[in-house]
A and B are shown apart, each in its own frame.
Chain A
């Protein structure tokens, strides 16, 4: 039972090479909405499988997880497609829940892990939606293909920037506190894992700083007039504020 449980967890908190299955599936989904659903559900199934074990995962699995996170973080550097980038980043982020479960604050329990997984997933859901929107407008959500979106679609660009910032675990979103707590708790027993997590964090920032300018900066390539409506933009902005508040409230438990 333990092996099967861990196998399920390795599939849904996707350790390499099981992660390839998630990314294949994510890339083949034709529309934004199924992708968004997948991003919410997939890690929750992994948390359920992990919680069913009733014990902390062994440290070798935590090493496997951070190696997977580093692999996908590195690979995002070469990506230009926002949809693919979202899938890789989600993979890199979710696997870090393995060291969170292995070293994290035990009082948080599986419910705490589920909240952390949700906190990590929400920015990717927003990005998947934005990628879908860009694909329908431009034919592809591809950095460098048609830049200057900040000038033609300012609201959508603003949300894209917020989404990428949240995805790369910028303060004060839940991802920031998850990574902070995991690093600090792994430090005394597995400093190597803590250092790898920090390296992953650095690669995320670099990756985010590569994909955002390719989409929003540069001269305008085509005139687009279908920016988000003011109400929709404000609602999504409000969702971002809620995410920040959730991060602050989660921080109390984790730290």
Chain B
């Protein structure tokens, strides 16, 4: 039955070939073959996932002597199900959306090939197959983004995306080379088993193999998942067709989280690498969110929102919550795909009517008019700080009583607490006929989200990493010294609470001190508006390199 993995991989390729070959005779109807192929792919992927859920043990299929190994395990089957599902939605949406576009059949052929490359990546069982799929995804994305051959800007940004992706391919290739030289095999399960038995193996210049390869894999993941300094391609790919944006933001950009999960057996043997992963994710999440707020174009704002979400996903890996990152990438894929596919409709409707009801929420958020009658601040502060913490602790205690021993879980609890408290803090001054009813509804919603998130992420943990010892090792690899950890948590709590107090004070005392702050604020806004000058820096570097190339050509007389 593992042979179904091959069927799942081949179906989109066959659909692409059939669509291409029948396009001259069937014209636009040829894309129905493509859709049929993806429906079948999704059905077989669901069957594979069902088999794993039913308890069928993990296995592999070897199509070649040294490479061409395909894995049949929880991670690959789950990801194949997600990829084929999102691809199916994008295919169906594109049928009408792209109907008037030139190269209609070509678009579906490329979508099919991209689906095949993504499926190959998630089921790759050796380093060469993984490299091939990783590389092909970048190339196919270039052609999908540049589908409109009349648009030069689409091709310019597609080129930039390709270049960033190729930059990300190289660390993965180096990591593959180091692992092959150390153990003499390309097979991922073999490499992981050798590394587990000899975690102190050294590589070039006496460097530890595990840390070096994990760092390189993380770098490859950063480029693919648009982490800060490698993010510039993401918001500028909006010249591509909307279904491609949806596929990219829902499926392709998440590959970084998948890659770190695939190399989890390497990361558990490292010391300190996951801390850097956390740091990069944190910086990306903060900067992505700030940049998103500064945009006035819905698609670009969604692009930066994806960057922020990818930061969170990488951060989850950094705290050792690997399976949570997979859950996050699936959840993000679904909601971001929906947003992209709906963006056109929203823009069209907003041209006639902004659709925003002039209710209490509007007067509070847009007009910033707060309630006339204030509640006792001490009571509200206590609710703000305590209630989210109680809900979060109880929810996590339901699934694992020892979660306080895991630093990663505490970090995520902290983020949950900040989010919940911020929500209550920012809404309790809303105009409402019954403030307690409003608060009650907020708390019920928060509880449902937290309990749902906790239960589902726990189920993902058990499914993807059934071995409890391995799960603990991931958290240990991500952990830091307890005293430092406690000190950081206390410091961050103080910073957040002081921030709330400052915001409360500013609201209560009107415009005092505003002039002094506004100059600082304007400088910061300029910096954000210029996207921290990263794109300009890269453009200048590119121009410099091209000028050197031209001078060399002239100097060497074009020979």
Interface, chain A (partner B; CB < 8 A): 20, 23-24, 27, 71, 74-79, 84, 147-148, 150-151, 157, 161, 165, 170-172, 176, 180, 183-184, 187-188, 191, 194-195, 198, 201-202, 205-206, 209-210, 212-213, 216-220, 251-252, 255
Contacts and interface: CB of A to CB of B under 8 A. Distances in A.
B155 interface: yes
Contacts of A147: 152
Contacts of B152: 147, 213, 217-218
Given A202-B167, A209-B163, A75 B204 contact: no
B163 A206 contact: yes
A84 B549 CA distance: 14
A29 to B, nearest CB: 13
Interface in B135-151: 135-136, 139, 142-143, 146, 149-151
A184 B181 contact: yes
Chain B contact patch, size range: 35 or more
15 contacts: A27-B559, A170-B135, A176-B132, A184-B181, A194-B174, A198-B173, A205-B163, A205-B166, A206-B159, A206-B163, A209-B163, A217-B146, A217-B150, A218-B150, A252-B65
Given A74-B552, A202-B170, A209-B162, 4 more contacts: A23-B559, A165-B139, A217-B149, A251-B128
A191 B150 CA distance: 43
A32 B136 CA distance: 31
Contacts of A180: 128, 131, 173
B150 A148 contact: yes
Contacts of B150: 148, 151, 217-220
B180 A184 contact: yes
A157 B170 CA distance: 28
B166 A202 contact: yes
A148 B178 CA distance: 43
Interface string B184-228: 001000000000000000001100000000000000000000000
A78 B553 contact: yes
Contacts of A183: 173-174, 177
A216 B64 CA distance: 37
Shortest 8 CB-CB distances between A and B: which pairs? A213-B155, A150-B149, A78-B549, A209-B159, A184-B177, A171-B132, A78-B550, A23-B559
A212 B558 CA distance: 20
A252 B66 contact: yes
B67 interface: yes
A67 to B, nearest CB: 13
Interface in B153-167: 154-156, 158-159, 162-163, 166-167
B369 interface: no
A23 B552 CA distance: 15
A198 B558 CA distance: 25
Contacts of A79: 553
Contacts of A170: 135-136, 139
A74 B151 contact: no
Nearest to B552: A75
Contacts, number: 122
Contacts of A216: 149
Nearest to B550: A78
Contacts of A20: 556-557, 559
Contacts of A191: 204-205
A219 B155 CA distance: 12
B177 A194 contact: yes
A180 B67 CA distance: 13
B540 interface: no
B364 to A, nearest CB: 48
A171 B102 contact: no
Contacts of A172: 132
Interface string B51-89: 000000000000011110000000000000000000000
A74 B558 contact: no
B65 A209 contact: no
A24 to B, nearest CB: 5
A252 B67 CA distance: 8
Contacts of A23: 558-559
B135 A171 contact: yes
Contacts of B556: 20, 75
Contacts of A165: 139
Contacts of A217: 146, 149-152, 154-155
B179 to A, nearest CB: 10
Contacts of B102: 151
B502 interface: no
A218 B151 CA distance: 5
B405 to A, nearest CB: 40
A157 to B, nearest CB: 8
Contacts of B490: none
Contacts of B552: 71, 74-75, 78
B271 to A, nearest CB: 23
A187 B159 contact: no
Nearest to B24: A230
